[in-house]
């Protein structure tokens, strides 16, 4: 019988717990979001993040820059937020418009306020096995695996996708948890063969029904990061109906990885506020 890894329920539980922790800590953490342009999907994600802030007692500030903003304008805004002592976390909503140099913008965020974990310093710490802030989506996946007590050490984990926001940090987190990790991408010679060997399969490709039942080892744990539109419906990368007959556990889309991403962002923001409060005392 397959276990449905319920990200929505787990995230709600984590957010409730976090709300209590924030009240007990007598802190008022604050997150700043920066959005450039008016892409509807990005606007929706930012709205969801602000709503989660409200739910747990984190203050939030939304900075909106015009679609034609330059790299300099975005970097200046980030630097202003770096200096603002009332701001604990800075999140720049990606993707940025083509004329903006994303690497320069991310590199401008103070690493101790980089609650999205994309700054090269935080990536380096993650890959050297000493994570401080690690990207919210893969970290949320580790949380859901822990919630359902899914063993990782010694397991063979295979990840489809090598992006900087999902595939690569996911590999580092699973490696840090003692899995044997393979990362696949568009140039992988025989991806079906690689995936078929996975005890834990993570798909972050962005293609509807990319993962078919034939690519999944019986009893595998399947994590679906993908968010795709198919015939007017939101679906993941995994052919859920077919794969759930083979997997031992699987995340649904929607209601799997997505809510965990936002819960992790809230947790990272609180952690930043705690550490910054400690630094002020010391
Ligand atoms: N639920 C959430 O919270 C959440 C968060 C982030 C992203 N997402 C979703 O997750 C998906 C992936 O996001 P992303 O930002 O990682 O995407 P991305 O930057 O576009 O990366 C996609 C990856 O998939 C690989 N790929 C593409 N076609 C492939 C193929 N035919 N065979 C093997 N690999 C292939 C690419 O390989 P190359 O590197 O070789 O090009 C790339 O590494 C999207 O649907 C996105 O919306 C969800």
Same domain, yes or no: 105 and 148: no
State the average pLDDT for the chain: 97
Which one-letter DSSP state was computed for residue 28? Answer: -
Same domain, yes or no: 140 and 104: no
- How far is ligand 1, taken at its centre, from the CA of residue 73, in Å? 28
| Burial grade of 96 (CB within 10 A; 0-12, 13-18, 19 or more) | buried
What pLDDT band is residue 280 in, cutting at 50, 70 and 90?
confident
Instruction: Give the C-alpha separation, 50 to 60, whole Å.
Output: 6
Q: In what order do the strands lie in the sheet containing 89-92?
A: 59-65, 30-36, 89-92
pLDDT at 27: 93
Cβ neighbours of residue 148 under 8 Å, at least 6 residues apart? 3, 5, 249
Mean pLDDT of all residues in 201-220: 98
Q: How far is CA 44 from the centre of its chain?
A: 16
Residue 31 and residue 88 in contact, taking contact as beta carbons nearer than 8 Å:
yes
Q: pLDDT tens digits for 64-97?
A: 999 999 999 999 999 999 999 999 999 999 999 9
Residue 247 and residue 223 in contact, taking contact as beta carbons nearer than 8 Å:
no
At 127, list the tokens. 């890959």
At 204, list the tokens. 């972050």
- Give per-residue burial for 264-279: e unless 16+ CB within 10 Å, then b: bbbbbbbbbbbebeee
What pLDDT band is residue 117 in, cutting at 50, 70 and 90?
very high
SS3 248: coil
Q: pLDDT tens digits for 157-183?
A: 999 999 999 999 999 999 999 999 999
> Which residue among 111, 144, 175 closes a domain?
111
Residue 202 domain-assigned (yes or no): yes
Residue 123 and residue 169 in contact, taking contact as beta carbons nearer than 8 Å:
yes
Catalytic residues: 49, 93, 116
- How far is ligand 1, taken at its centre, from the CA of residue 164, in Å? 10
Residue 174 domain-assigned (yes or no): yes
Q: Does residue 281 surpass a pLDDT of 80?
A: no
Residue 70 domain-assigned (yes or no): yes
Q: For the chain, what is the domain count?
A: 2
Q: Does residue 282 surpass a pLDDT of 80?
A: no
Query: Which atom in ligand 1 lies closest to the alpha carbon of residue 237?
Result: 45
What pLDDT band is residue 279 in, cutting at 50, 70 and 90?
confident
Instruction: Give the C-alpha separation, 21 to 57, whole Å.
Output: 10
Q: Is 252 left (phi over 0), alpha (psi -120 to 50) or beta?
A: beta
At 241, list the tokens. 């109906």
CA-nearest residue for atom 23, ligand 1, is: 161
Mean pLDDT of all residues in 200-221: 98
Residue 92 domain-assigned (yes or no): yes
Same domain, yes or no: 253 and 199: yes
pLDDT at 232: 94
Residue 140 domain-assigned (yes or no): yes
pLDDT at 246: 98
Please tell me the number of Cα atoms within 13 Å of 148 on its side-chain side: 24
Instruction: Give the C-alpha separation, 4 to 233, whole Å.
Output: 20
CATH (domain of 225): 3.40.50.720
Mean pLDDT of all residues in 181-194: 98
Q: pLDDT tens digits for 264-277?
A: 999 999 999 999 99
Determine the structural domain holding residue 247 and report its residue range.
136-258
At 200, list the tokens. 């834990």
Mean pLDDT of all residues in 111-128: 98
Percentage of the chain beyond pLDDT 70 is: 100
| Cβ–ligand 1 contact at 11 (below 6 Å) | no
pLDDT at 25: 95
| Cβ–ligand 1 contact at 227 (below 6 Å) | yes
Residue 193 domain-assigned (yes or no): yes
Same domain, yes or no: 142 and 88: no
| Cβ–ligand 1 contact at 258 (below 6 Å) | yes
- Alpha helix locations (H) across the chain? 7-25, 40-56, 71-83, 102-108, 120-127, 136-147, 167-176, 191-196, 240-243, 257-281
Same domain, yes or no: 140 and 253: yes
- Give per-residue burial for 13-48: e unless 16+ CB within 10 Å, then b: ebbeebbeebeeeebebbbbbbbbbebeebeebbee
CATH (domain of 101): 3.40.50.10860
For CA atoms 241, 198, 138, 153, the dihedral sign is positive
| Cβ–ligand 1 contact at 206 (below 6 Å) | yes
Q: Is the pTM of this model over 0.95?
A: yes
């Amino acid at each position: 019988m397959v276990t449905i890894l319920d990200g929505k329920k787990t995230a709600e539980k984590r957010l409730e717990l976090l709300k209590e922790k924030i009240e007990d800590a007598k802190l008022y953490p604050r997150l700043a979001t920066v959005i450039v342009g008016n892409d509807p999907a990005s606007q929706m994600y930012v709205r969801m993040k602000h709503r989660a802030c409200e739910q747990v007692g984190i203050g939030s500030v939304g900075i909106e820059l015009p679609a034609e903003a330059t790299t300099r304008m975005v970097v200046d805004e980030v630097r202003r937020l770096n200096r603002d002592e009332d701001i604990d976390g800075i999140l720049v909503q990606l993707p940025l418009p083509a004329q903006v140099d994303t690497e320069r913008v991310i590199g401008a965020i103070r690493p101790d306020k980089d609650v999205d974990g994309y700054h090269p310093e935080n990536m380096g710490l993650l890959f050297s096995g000493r994570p401080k802030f690690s990207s919210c989506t893969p970290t949320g996946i580790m949380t859901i695996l822990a919630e359902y007590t899914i063993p990782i050490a010694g397991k063979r984990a295979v990840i489809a996708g090598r992006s900087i926001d999902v595939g690569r940090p996911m590999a580092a987190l699973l490696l840090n948890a003692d899995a044997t990790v393979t990362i696949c991408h568009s140039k992988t010679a025989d991806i079906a063969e690689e995936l078929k060997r996975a005890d834990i399969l993570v798909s972050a490709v962005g293609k509807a029904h990319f993962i078919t039942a034939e690519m999944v080892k019986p009893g595998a744990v399947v994590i679906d990061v993908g968010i795709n539109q198919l015939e007017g419906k939101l679906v993941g990368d995994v052919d859920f109906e077919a794969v759930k007959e083979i997997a031992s556990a699987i995340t649904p889309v929607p209601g799997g990885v997505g809510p965990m991403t936002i819960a992790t962002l809230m947790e990272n923001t609180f952690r930043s506020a705690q550490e910054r409060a400690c630094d002020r005392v010391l």
